[in-house]
Structure 1
Amino acid sequence: MFLRTLLSAGLLFTTAAFAGEQQFTPDTTHTLLGFTASTLLFDVPGVFDRYQVKIKGDPEAPSTVEIRLELEARSIDTANKSRDNHLRSADFLEVATYPKIVFTSSKAWRQGGQLIVQGLLDLHGRQRPLQITFDEAKGLNGAGTPTWAYKASLSINRQEFGIGADSVAAKISLKDDVKLNLLLVGFFAEAQPEPDRKAPVKARAARTKGSTAR
């Protein structure tokens, strides 16, 4: 009887701990936002080294989840400095004009054990709808901390975003489809309330009023 009560209490605690709105903190050691572009001769894998992953909602209730992935286009890394500089140029990503690559979700649901996310991809100044199918996993990491992992692979057509459209090199050998490889690993915790942004304004008003009185 005691054991049954203890297990029930533990289950209630676990459920309560992850109920309601949560915020996701990425584990940057394991999170990967990568891609593979293909030429007629070989594949070119790469990653974006600088990014922000913002996920909030209840991970057990996908309809409440909001996702925003923001990548710094300049942080592209294919392990070849000359190639990376070319990819940053006007021939491809035009990072001086379009510094961010952003995906914003509009809807999420579970289907067949997977998490389906619909949203909008803003890339190279063009916006296109995108659906991502994530394989989900959750458990304890090596430190005993509850951890979530979301893994997805999908392809986009670079021509739809005008990437490499005027590049001679791209026209000669670069294939249109680019494979995206996403691995989001991290931790959910209770969302913190937004700071009261009006308070400093009131404080300044009070100080102004006091100095006028003097």
Structure 2
Amino acid sequence: MPTITELSELTGDYVFDTAHTRIRFVARHTMSTRVRGEFGEFEGGAVLDGDRPERSSARLTISAASILTRNQQRDDLLRDKFLDADHHPALTFTSVHVRQVDGTRYKVAGELTIRDVTAPVTLDVALADAATAPDGGVRLGFTGSTTIDRRTWGVNWNSMTTLMVGPKVTLEFDVTAVRRS
């Protein structure tokens, strides 16, 4: 696939390719180990303006029930007690501002909603790849992360949780986006 080198060639409306996108998290557990997991069900997209990146936007909706850590007991606890997925089925992110840091790095400020609590977050995002697929479509690869304090969104179970699970959670993502025709 030919690589695209000009940002202006990227302008368009994109949808996330869920088969090639990963939304992950890392949290400290009992101050010595890390718990890693991911969300298996989500949808999202972006509108990119290659000439004026500040006009770009992104959105993401994640199914809270799709959390996976490879431990069924922990997954059930996270779904039921921490995320309360039955009453709060979705986590959402909507960008409000994009700032280009350099040729391939961006700060994407937005609002993250978890358990019906909305708070601002800023994502560090890098354009990792931009290419034209054999079918003529444009495919982009982005990587990024941010660290949040889960207590801001009420993601807590009981007083023992504070002792066993660190408050900081790193959200990581590898996104493949496909430009709509």
User: Which residue number corresponds to residue 142 of structure 2?
Assistant: 150
Q: C-alpha distance in 2, partners of 1:185/1:158?
A: 26
Change (3 A) 1:164 1:17: closer
Q: How many residues align?
A: 174
Q: C-alpha distance in 2, partners of 1:132/1:18?
A: 20
Cα distance, 1:63 vs structure 2: 2.2
Change (3 A) 1:141 1:106: same
Q: C-alpha distance in 1, partners of 2:49/2:152?
A: 33
Q: C-alpha distance in 1, partners of 2:89/2:45?
A: 18
Asked if structure 2 preserves the Cα contact closer than 8 Å seen for 1:98 and 1:124, the reply is yes
Change (3 A) 1:16 1:179: closer
Q: C-alpha distance in 2, partners of 1:37/1:143?
A: 39
- Structure holding more helix per residue: 1
Cα distance, 1:17 vs structure 2: 6.2
Asked if structure 1 preserves the Cα contact closer than 8 Å seen for 2:138 and 2:178, the reply is yes
Gaps of 5+ in 1: 1-10, 191-214
Q: C-alpha distance in 2, partners of 1:183/1:16?
A: 22
- TM-score for the superposition, normalised by structure 1: 0.73
User: Which residue number corresponds to residue 69 of structure 2?
Assistant: 78
Q: C-alpha distance in 2, partners of 1:141/1:175?
A: 42
Is 1:137 paired with 2:136?
no
The alignment partner of 2:170 has SS state of: strand
Gaps of 5+ in 2: none
Paired-residue identity, %: 24
The alignment partner of 2:82 has SS state of: coil
User: Which residue number corresponds to residue 67 of structure 1?
Assistant: 58
Change (3 A) 1:135 1:173: same
Change (3 A) 1:57 1:15: closer
User: Which residue number corresponds to residue 46 of structure 1?
Assistant: 37
Q: C-alpha distance in 1, partners of 2:165/2:138?
A: 42
Residues 1-214 of structure 1 aligned to structure 2 (within 5 Å): 18-19=10-11, 22-39=12-29, 40-89=31-80, 91-113=81-103, 114-140=105-131, 143=134, 146-166=138-158, 168=160, 170-190=161-181
- Structure holding more strand per residue: 2
Asked if structure 1 preserves the Cα contact closer than 8 Å seen for 2:145 and 2:170, the reply is yes
Change (3 A) 1:171 1:116: closer
Cα distance, 1:85 vs structure 2: 0.6
The alignment partner of 1:29 has SS state of: helix
Change (3 A) 1:62 1:72: same
The alignment partner of 1:120 has SS state of: strand
Asked if structure 2 preserves the Cα contact closer than 8 Å seen for 1:36 and 1:46, the reply is yes
Give CA-to-partner distance per residue, 1:45-91, whole Å, 9 cap, x none.
101100011212424432222211110000000011111011111x3
| CA RMSD, Structure 1 to Structure 2 (Å) | 2.4
Asked if structure 1 preserves the Cα contact closer than 8 Å seen for 2:107 and 2:125, the reply is yes
